[in-house]
Amino acid sequence: MKTQTEYLVLVMELNSDLYNHHGDVEEQWFYTSSGYVDVIGYGDKMLWNSENCDRKWIEKINDYEPMKPYLKRKLKDYGTFLKKISK
């Protein structure tokens, strides 16, 4: 389990990557916490929360997959979903 500071640093990195790749954009990554549940999302969409974590468990390293690639994949999956339903 990460600390709130680690989650904030991760979200700052994601927003920095986003800016470096696309420049100014309207939507951004966000982090929020109730003090009990941590949430990371993009725009107005929650992509991960600490209560329902569905990251893959990697036996080889005895840990979950890294958070940053996981979140980018979740955003990509959400974009694919939006494309499908908008047709």
pLDDT score, position 87: 83
pLDDT score, position 2: 82
Measured CA angle at 75 (ends 4, 69), to 5 deg: 65
Domain membership of residue 65 as a residue range:
4-85
Express each pLDDT in 8-60 by its tens digit: 999 999 999 999 999 998 999 999 999 899 999 999 999 999 999 899 999 99
Count of domains observed in the chain: 1
pLDDT score, position 1: 62
Nearest to 42, CA basis, from 2, 82, 84: 82
pLDDT score, position 39: 97
